[in-house]
Structure 1
């Protein structure tokens, strides 16, 4: 963290198909080695595959999945009197989105399907139905916060 002043939040441009900044952020997190056109093709291919498999609009499934992934609470380490406590805190909306996108890309890459298009489509469909690895990560975060609720009075 900078000691002088807060970092400037850079805004991304909305994507070309859905005109949504969140989609651009997801594409940027999928992107490897600066190859954005490949990441876009993969993401849009996954949206088309979702529409094929479920009959629902891929973008609607994506929005529902991201909403289901977003955590409301998390634990943060707080050092008090020589002991470190995991203190549950509410998550700001911007961080909710960031965590959701980070967890989504992490657990998408760990899936067993062949090809990133299939992995993204499968993880989005699972998350939209409140299942899958990303939802499990969110639930684990909630369990950790619940277990450490006794330290909630140490909030920042």
Structure 2
């Protein structure tokens, strides 16, 4: 049976400048309309801005740490039991943690208006590195919601 999609993990190559698969995945998520060179330019400009703002830190380490800081440990999922829908807290697996982290950072950067994307992305990555910013707020809200609904944790099967 043929598969509709190939696993991106199998085909993913490290990015040319830093040799990081995480950076490559991030660039692919940043990309619009198949314009990878534009996405790479935005990402690398953001890395240069981070290097200027935090001269003592390696920009790819700042990026990796920012993604790590945004990763959620637990999330709520809707579960229908008997006619009622419950928000059930569940553990998040590693692949989904990374996906959500990247998605939230990009969403937070895109929500800011009026400046070039490289600057917005650099701001959000530095904020996530320092454990503040919109992406971290999103993570905290997800954790708070999971904590509020822990009474329904016994529905997680």
TM-score in terms of structure 2 length: 0.92
Aligned residue number for residue 31 of structure 2: 31
Aligned residue number for residue 146 of structure 2: 145
How far off is 1:14 after superposition?
1.0
Aligned residue number for residue 61 of structure 1: 62
Aligned residue number for residue 48 of structure 2: 48
In structure 2, stretches of 5+ residues that fail to align are none
The alpha-carbon distance between structure 1 residues 41 and 141, as it changes in their structure 2 partners (threshold 3 A), is same
Contact 1:113–1:119 (Cα < 8 Å) also in 2 = no
TM-score in terms of structure 1 length: 0.93
How far off is 1:58 after superposition?
1.1
The alpha-carbon distance between structure 1 residues 113 and 122, as it changes in their structure 2 partners (threshold 3 A), is farther
**How far apart, in 2, do the equivalents of 1:134 and 1:123 lie?**
8
RMSD: 1.7
Contact 1:66–1:127 (Cα < 8 Å) also in 2 = yes
**How far apart, in 1, do the equivalents of 2:5 and 2:82 lie?**
31
